[in-house]
Structure formats: structure tokens, C-alpha cells
Amino acid sequence: MNIPLEYILVLSSSLFVIGAAGVILKKNIIVVLMSIEIMLNAANINLVAFSTYYGDTTGQVFALFSIGVAAAEVAVALAILLNLNKQKKTVDIDEINLLRW
Amino acid sequence: MSILEYAWLIPVLPLLAFVIVGFLGGKMKDNGAIVAVIGVGGAMVLALWTAFEVLTTGVVYKPESMEWVVLSSDYSMEMGVYIDSVAAMMLIVVSFIAFLVVVYSTAYMHDQGKRQRRYFTEICLFVGVMLGLVLANNFLQMFIFWELVGLCSYLLIGFWFERPAAARAAKKAFLVTRVGDVMLMIGLFLLFTEFHSLNYELIWGNLTTADQTTLAFAGFFLFGGAIGKSAQFPLHDWLPDAMEGPTTVSALIHAATMVNAGVYLTARAFPIIATSADVSLFVAAIGGITAFIAATMALCAPKIKGVLAYSTVSQLGYMILALGTGAFLWNQGHHEAGSLAFGAGLFHLMNHAFFKGQLFLGAGSVIHYVGTEELSKMGGLGKYMKVTSITMLISCISIAGIPFFSGFWSKDEILAMTFEATDVNLWFLLLWIMGVATAFMTAFYMFRMWFMAFKGEPGEGTKHVIEHGGHHHEAPIAMLLPLVILAALAFGSWLSLFIGDGFYSVINVEGEFHALSIIERLEEVFSSPLTWVSIAMAGGGIALAYYTFNKRRISAENVVSKGFPKAMRQLLLDRYKFPVAYDKIGYVGVYGFSLLLDKFDRYVIDGIVNGISKFLIKAGGVVRKSQTGFVQNYTTLLLLGVSLIIVLLYVVGALR
């Protein structure tokens, strides 16, 4: 039995919006990072869903790549955050505005 | 195979010497003097041979010219050689005098040590480009060489550049002649737009079909170039200052050759000038005025070279007067008289080059001996400088216009032609009177100079030299020989009138005229009362100088001690305030205008540029506030933007 594509799309867009809301609204920078991961996974779900829908495995391979890249990215991001935390002694994103004018 | 095919080598030889002396002269024992002598001597041999070939055969040598710049199918500039009798005569004068001066310089500049390299380099460059100027077959090529001789003049006037006066004189000469050169360029532009080429023959051949107003302006502006280069009124004031250079330079450049370039240009532009009576009259008037005022300034010049410099300006004025008169007569339909006047001008150019070259070299010899230029410190030199004093006497007689010396023939011819033009236009009567007065003054100031230098009581400088017994010899043979040769020519160059068709072919602008034999010419000249007037003037001038400066019957000091003569003398010493006027024009006019432009540049041009940058900086200051540094702001905006695009795409897609 196949799950209709629409269901999966609704799921992925819901996840995406939740992630976006988290990125925009959350004050804790760790949570913001996690929200970004949620958005990434929404995209991955889309890739897999369309891959199955068209019967083409390329999308699934891409999803694997995407997860791999995301892992690397999170590693880098966490390293940056760790250093940032050492300097600023905070995880509040509103406190971190080094790149302003 | 004729020698004419090698005519292009004439300027190349001195230029080759220029390169060799310039790069290797310092390594040579004589600082390149011998290379310069060989280069200029070779050019002289070739030039004399070429001139002989052209003058005797009467053929105008004009090989196919090379296309240099082709602007479009009908606008082109070329490079080529054109030797007619006028150019041939110039070749003789320039190459011959240049050779003698270079030989003379080897002795005269001997005490200059390593500096001689620079001297000979610049002299070789000058001779090369001057010969190139003469050989050009179009006005543009002439103009290029014209500027180069100007450059050489600048370099050589400023030869002793560490002297402030020399540096100033060089700058002045360069800038003042530049005024004329700008006029000349305007003339060239006019000719180029009218004829689409600057070739002499092409222009001369199409004068009747061209626009007469343009031609008149072109003639006027071309003559403007001559005013600058030949030191005509009102741009004459640089030449007396140019005497700051070595005397040999004054002899070669500022008496015998470069200043004649202006006359040569006027001769080349003669057919153009002759198309307009007004311009011709203007040329003649400038010549007459220059001859007159320069002669007055020579009357009381304190330095020996100063006298000669004013005299040069005055004699150049005579030449220009002759050419202007010729153009006027030609314009009025008197073609034969017109070309006679034209020939008289060029004849005077040649004679003047010889006797003035001689006088300057003689003055060089005198200065070399006494070590001063002040006439009042000389005196009594005749006893110690026999060759110099006698050869200079010959030249003085020649320039004064005593019969059978060359200066007499050409000056008399010029005055006769000016008087002839009186029939057509009364202004020429005034010019003739000025010319005759100039003849009187010429005789007076030349003999004033001669008597003051060579006769009478020994002056300060003379005594000093004799007491210290420094020079018992008057000058080395390399200096005396040119003096003697030039003195012989100062007497004898008039004989060229009678050598076959020789010089007479210069006199003919076109058409066949009857060349007079010696007897006919003598008859014609001496049967005219005008001749006796000019002889009387010359004799009177010499007599006055004799009684004033040799016999001392008339005391010059008493005459100028008070009243009008004193004021006049001061005015003459101030050169009619011309230097002051130049400075005024320079400082107030040009400098003031430049200051105005500077203000415009500072406040308007810079204002616009700085204003734009200030605006951009301010605007940037405002806009950069959007860079808050809060990551969430950026993300929000990004998401909003993307959403907006999606919505828009959706809406547009729906509307399709």
C-alpha cells in the first residue's frame, strides 16, 4: 500500500515551517541549530518521497549525500558555537551581533 | 646616377654624428669634436654638390615622396625631399656656415672640458634638423624640423644652465617662439583643411581655386610662425637674451641659420601670402617696423653681442620687408617686380648669414681674447688682433652698405623695391623712409661697435690682458681661418649674382627674366638716385660713428647726459619696455588666467568629484544600518523574500 505523495509533502512542509519558526524565534543558539537540522530533514524527506514516486533511486542517493554534508556542517557549526561560547559566555542569540555595521 | 639621389643623406650625416658623439663622445680624447667636424663636413660637401647641381641645371629635384600618414583617401601627410633654387641656396648657407662654426668651436670651446661632448652633440643635432627643415617638401615635415631646431636653440642657449641668466634666456626663447609656433600650427590646420595635404607644390598649384579668405588667414598665421622664429616685432625680444649661449651658438643659430628659418618659411608661404594684399602689407609693415626699432635699440647697446643681436633682428626685418613688399607687388600684378623683391630678400638672407656669422665669430674671438663682453672695457684691440679687426671691418662695411660689398647689393635692392611699391600704396613710402633710416643707423652702430672695440685708448679689459701678458697670440688658426673665409664671402657673395644663371634663378619665382650682366647691373644700380641716397646714409652713419667714437669730436656722453636723449637712451636700454610688457602679459594675463582656471578646477571640477564621493559615503552610512548583526533578522528577511517570490510566481502563473 502506497502512502499518497501529498501526505508526505504536507509532512515535509510542516517540518520545514516548524524548523523555520524555530530558527527565527528561538533565543537559544543550540535550538536554532537544531531547527536548521529539522529544515534539512524536511528537504531530505522531499527527496526520498519524489524518488519513490518516480521510481528513480537518484533522489535517495542524494538524500544520503545531504545527510552526510549536514553532519559535517553540524560539526563545524558546533565547533564555532563552542568557541563563541568561550568568548561570550552565552548561548543567547540576541547577545551575539559581532557582524553588525 | 646623379648626386641628387643622395640628397636625403645631407641631414642624416650630422644626425649620425649626433648619435655617435652623444653616446661615445665622452670616451673620445677630443670629446667628439672630430666626429662632429666629419659629420657636418660630409653634409657640407654633399649639400654644396647638390646645390651646385640644382642651381646649374635649374632643375627642381622632387622625388616621389613617401606617404607617411594616410587619414583617408584624400587626406594624407607625406615625407619627402624638395630642392629648388631657394632650398639650394639655404643648403649652401646652412651647411657652409655650420661647418665653419663647428671648426671654430673645436678651438673656441676647448676650455669647456667634458662639456664639449654635450656641445657637439647638440650642434650636430641642430645642423641635421636645420638641413632637414630646408629639404622638406611639405609644411608638416618642415614644422617637425622647425620644432626640433627650436629645441636645439633652447638647449644651446642654456648651455651654461647653471647661470640663472642663461637658464632664463633659454626658457624665454623657447616660450616666446612657441607663441609663433601655435600660430604656425593654426596656419597649417587651415591649409590642411583647405588642400587636404601640405605639399608645397600641391598648395602652390591650387591657390586660385581655393577659398581666398581661408588663404589670407592661412598666410597670416604662417607668417605668425615666422614672427616668432625670426624674432620679428612684437616677438623679437627673445633674441637679444639668447646671447647668453656660447658665441658660436649665437653665430650659427641666432644669426646665420635658425632665425633665417622664419624667412625661409615666409618664402615658402610667399605664394599664399601674395594672394592677399592686406596680409602682404602686414608682412612688409612688420618687417619695416622690426628693422627700425631693432636698429634704434642697437644704437646704445653696451655689449658687443648685444649690438650684433639687435642688428640681426634689424636685418631679418629687412628680409621680411622685402618678402612682404614682393608679395604685395605680386598681388597687385607686378609680377616681375614682386619676384625681384622676393629674390632681394633671399639674397639679403644669404649675404647677412655670411657677414653676421663672421661678425659673431669675430666677436667670439674678441671675447676669447679680452674675456669681457662690455664694449666700454675694450678699445685699442686692433693692435693686438689684426686678423679679427680687419675681417670684422670688412663685414661692418658690408652690413653698412658701402658699394661693392655684398650687403650693399641686397640692401639697396630691398630699398629700391620698397620705393617702387610706393607707386601702388603710399604706406610703402613710410616703410621706405624707415628702411633708409635703418640703413643710416646700421652704419652708425656697426662702426660704433668696431671703433669702440678696436680703436682708441685701451680699455680696462684690454689693459688687463696686456699687463698680465696672458694671450700674446690672438686666436688659434681654427678660429682665424673661418673668420677669413667668411670675411671673403662677406665681401664677395654678391658676385653670385653674376655667376651664370647661378643666383639669379633664386630671384625668379617663376617665369623667365632677363639676367643682368655686370655692366648692365652697375649701370642700373648707379644711375638710380635711390642708390645714392642709401650710400649717403651709410657714409653718413660711418662718418658720425668715426667722429664720435674714434676722433671723439662729438662726445657721446654729453649728448646722452640730459633731457630727451637721456630718457630715450634709457628707453632703448630698457628695450622699449618689451621685457616688462612680456612679464606683464605673462604674469597678469597668462598667470591670472591660469589662476582662474585653477580656481575652476579646485572648486567646480573637484567640487563635483568630491561631492559625488561625499554623497556616496553618506548614503552608505544610512544604508549600512540594515546590517544589524542579528542572524535571525537576516533569516527572517530571507524567508520573507523567498515567500514573496513564491507568491509572486504563483500569482503571475495564475494570471497567465
Specify the number of domains making up chain A. Answer: 1
Q: What is the pLDDT of residue B72?
A: 77
Percentage of chain B beyond pLDDT 70 is 96
Give a yes or no: residue A98 inside a domain: no
How far is A24 from B639, CA to CA, in rounded Å?
9
Per-residue model confidence as pLDDT tens digits over B59-81: 788 888 788 888 777 788 888 88
How far is A18 from A34, CA to CA, in rounded Å?
11
Q: State the smallest CA–CA distance between residue A1 and chain B in angstroms.
A: 33
Q: What is the pLDDT of residue B301?
A: 85
Within 22-51 of A, beta carbons closer than 8 Å to B belong to 23-25, 32
Q: What is the pLDDT of residue B515?
A: 56
Q: State the smallest CA–CA distance between residue B645 and chain A in angstroms.
A: 17
**pLDDT, greater one: B24 or A1:** B24
Q: State the smallest CA–CA distance between residue B630 and chain A in angstroms.
A: 5
Q: Which are the contacts of B307, defined by CB distance < 8 A and separation ≥ 6?
A: B298, B301, B375, B445, B446, B448, B449
Query: A77 lies in which domain range?
Result: 5-93
Q: Tell me whether residues B630 and A23 touch, CB distance under 8 A.
A: no
Give a yes or no: residue A99 inside a domain: no
Amino acid B359 reads L
Q: Is it true that the peptide bond before B234 is cis, omega within 30 degrees of 0?
A: yes
Give a yes or no: residue A100 inside a domain: no
Q: How distant, in Å, are the alpha carbons of B136, B177, B227, B262, B269 from that of B184?
A: 16, 10, 10, 10, 11
Contacts of A100 in chain B (CB under 8 A): 627-630
Q: What is the pLDDT of residue B646?
A: 92
What residue spans define the domains of chain B? 138-573, 580-655
Closest chain A residue to the Cα of B621, Cα to Cα: A101
Q: What is the pLDDT of residue B516?
A: 60
Q: What is the pLDDT of residue B629?
A: 81
Q: Tell me whether residues A101 and B636 touch, CB distance under 8 A.
A: no
How far is A27 from B537, CA to CA, in rounded Å?
115
Q: Taking all residues of chain B, what is their mean pLDDT, rounded to a whole number?
A: 86
B70 sits in which H/E element: strand B66-70
The ipTM is 0.83
Q: What is the pLDDT of residue B292?
A: 92
* Contact between residue B377 and residue B461 where contact means Cβ atoms under 8 Å apart: yes
Q: What is the pLDDT of residue B291?
A: 92
Q: What is the pTM of this model?
A: 0.78
- pLDDT under 50 in chain B at which residues? 1, 502, 508-509
Q: What is the pLDDT of residue B502?
A: 45
Give a yes or no: residue A9 inside a domain: yes
Contacts of A97 in chain B (CB under 8 A): 628-630
How far is B504 from B506, CA to CA, in rounded Å?
5
CATH code at position A57: 1.10.287.3510
Q: Is B74 helix (H, G, I), strand (E, B) or coil?
A: coil
Give a yes or no: residue A75 inside a domain: yes
Q: Tell me whether residues A93 and B632 touch, CB distance under 8 A.
A: yes
Q: What is the mean pLDDT of residues A65-72?
A: 93
Neighbours of B38 (CB within 10 A): 16
Q: What is the pLDDT of residue A16?
A: 93
Q: Tell me whether residues A32 and B631 touch, CB distance under 8 A.
A: yes
Q: What is the pLDDT of residue B509?
A: 47
Contacts of B628 in chain A (CB under 8 A): 97, 100
Q: Tell me whether residues A99 and B636 touch, CB distance under 8 A.
A: no
